[in-house]
Structure 1
Amino acid sequence: MRLMIVAAVAVAATAGLPPVAASAAPSPVSRESVQAAGTSVEQSAACTKPCNRKIADDYPYKKRIGKVDPYNFWAGQCTSFAAWRINDRLKLKFHNNYKGVNWGDAKTWDDAAKKVKLKVDRTPKVGDIAVWNDGRFGHVAYVARVDGSKIVVEEYNKSKREAYSKRTISRNDPDNYIHFPF
């Protein structure tokens, strides 16, 4: 509740409203209205669901490399890690046949997202999935932080084969961002 009030005050301040009007703002605060208030509030608002913003290798399938994970992706691959983050942080029941569409390799994730009517664009928010369409399989990563023109992504099978890494990159590097509802 405190987060919603803080976000509402920040949104009201951005909109030029007095703080009193903000305390009466409806909740929950939308991602779009919080985005307008700035990055620090944007990051906090993305965690109104239990999403534990800790950036660390807490992926539970690292000892099952080469086997299929519970989401029907290969453990140790970027798609498995992203699917796990979506389930764990966003509390969605995401899997390789989410909403009746096969998500497959990373380079087809943005197309699959569009088929199930998810927002796909070039504007990152914490909790989004970054998509790169180049190469044989493409690549996906979880957006852990947004800070102006830079983002921090968490991923598997990019910097190290079948292993965790985090990188700070330009927000313009990925081809697209998939916005899952939370």
Structure 2
Amino acid sequence: MPQPGLTGSPENSNATPTRRELRAQREAGETREIAAAQAEARAVPEQAAPEQAAPEQTAVQSVVRSVVVDRTFVAVPPAAMPPAAVAPAAGRAAARRPAAVKPPAAPPAARGPKRTRRNSPLTVAVTLLAIPGLFLTAALPAYAFTPGQGVAGAPTAHQRASAEEQGVTVAAGSASIAVARDGFSATTTAQLAERERAAAAEKAADAAQATTAAYAVYGIRADGDDYPWAGKKSGLSPLGYVYGQCVDFVAWRLNRDAGVTGGNWRWTWSNLTPGGGNASEWANAWAGHGWKTSTTPVVGAVAWFNYNHVGYVQSVSANGSVVLEEYNWMGSSAYHTRTIPAGQVPLYLYPPA
């Protein structure tokens, strides 16, 4: 009874063959193929045409069959192989043959002598100067710069000036020199505020004077307006001045104060201001007559302004202000009054003698 597990036993009929068994089977098959090929070669008639055998022999000679038998290579000579087996063997050999090696490339054509590149003298000079400069730059110490003071560690202008001042010797007689002072003093905040208030007040007074003409009375006689020709604006009055002008109103008041209110007028253009009828000429007329003028106001005097205007002084207040009556102030051609500081009137023309 065969032992279980051995090769060929019924229990091991389905066992997988080992690698050694597979290799032996493959080698046995190849041996049988070689033997069959040799037998076919011997059976071929030797009367084959020479012209047909030559190509076959040439093909057979180019193929060498290698068979691996027990890990050794056996070379089969081409002559031993039949012509029928040469073609299949040649095909298999060609399939296993490595790719054809390319023939070596032809050497490159000979070139001329290699040209050497020469640097220009300028390039050489720059190189000789740049290389030492790089070494010198690397050897320089790093300096820290402070804004406004220059290089750190260097004396500033103030320090140099202080060092120079330490060597100055002051003479003994210089201590007795008196320092001269100017007569100017600093303006305080309070003084500046006072000036601003004064300027604002003056500006407000000018604005009030400029708007007073808007309140002049037309048609209806204002209280205190005794000018007999009110409302007239053109032509000459009996006094020789133009109706409704400041000079004609003041000439009327001078006649009224002299006791003349109509008819035989005491003061007219011909004997009051013979040099001209404009208000700007009245001061010269007073000086030509030798009549008194002053900067101190009195009631009944003529308030003379250098901007071609005159008024009548109605009253003088104890606080230094005056009340003026006038016509055509600011071009209104009407009667109105105003109170101003006495100092705003450049000159007072006293009533004529």
Class of the TM-score when normalised by the shorter of the 2 chains: 0.5 to 0.7
Question: Paired residue for 1:114?
Answer: 287
Return the match for 1:144 from 297, 311, 314: 314
User: Does the alignment pair 1:176 with 2:347?
Assistant: yes
Normalising by the residue count of structure 1, what TM-score does the alignment of the two structures yield? 0.64
Contact residue 151 and residue 171 of structure 1 kept, 8 A: yes
Contact residue 159 and residue 165 of structure 1 kept, 8 A: no
Helix, strand or coil: the match of 1:73? coil
Return the match for 1:124 from 289, 297, 301: 297
Deviation sequence 1:157-176 (CA, Å, 0-9, x none): 01561000100011111111
Q: 1:61 to 1:103 in 2, by over 3 A?
A: same
Deviation sequence 1:71-124 (CA, Å, 0-9, x none): 100111100000000001233711112167334211111110110011011111
Q: Which amino acid aligns with 1:174?
A: V
Q: Which amino acid aligns with 1:154?
A: E
Return the match for 1:72 from 228, 240, 252: 240
Whole-angstrom CA distance in 1 between matches of 2:267 and 2:247: 11
Q: 1:113 to 1:181 in 2, by over 3 A?
A: closer
Deviation sequence 1:126-178 (CA, Å, 0-9, x none): 000000012xxx10000000012100000000156100010001111111111
Whole-angstrom CA distance in 2 between matches of 1:72 and 1:147: 33
Q: 1:166 to 1:99 in 2, by over 3 A?
A: closer
Question: Paired residue for 2:9?
Answer: none
Q: Which has more strand, going by share of residues?
A: 1
Helix, strand or coil: the match of 1:115? helix
Q: Which amino acid aligns with 2:226?
A: D
Q: Which has more helix, going by share of residues?
A: 2
Normalising by the residue count of structure 2, what TM-score does the alignment of the two structures yield? 0.34
- Which consecutive unaligned segments of at least 5 residues does structure 1 have? 1-54
Matches for 1:86-125 after TM superposition, within 5 Å? 86-91=254-259, 93-98=266-271, 101-125=274-298
Whole-angstrom CA distance in 1 between matches of 2:241 and 2:228: 14
Q: 1:100 to 1:163 in 2, by over 3 A?
A: closer
Whole-angstrom CA distance in 1 between matches of 2:305 and 2:239: 21
Larger Cα Rg: Structure 1 or Structure 2? Answer: 2
Give the % identical residues.
33
Return the match for 1:60 from 228, 247, 253: 228
Deviation sequence 1:9-55 (CA, Å, 0-9, x none): xxxxxxxxxxxxxxxxxxxxxxxxxxxxxxxxxxxxxxxxxxxxxx6
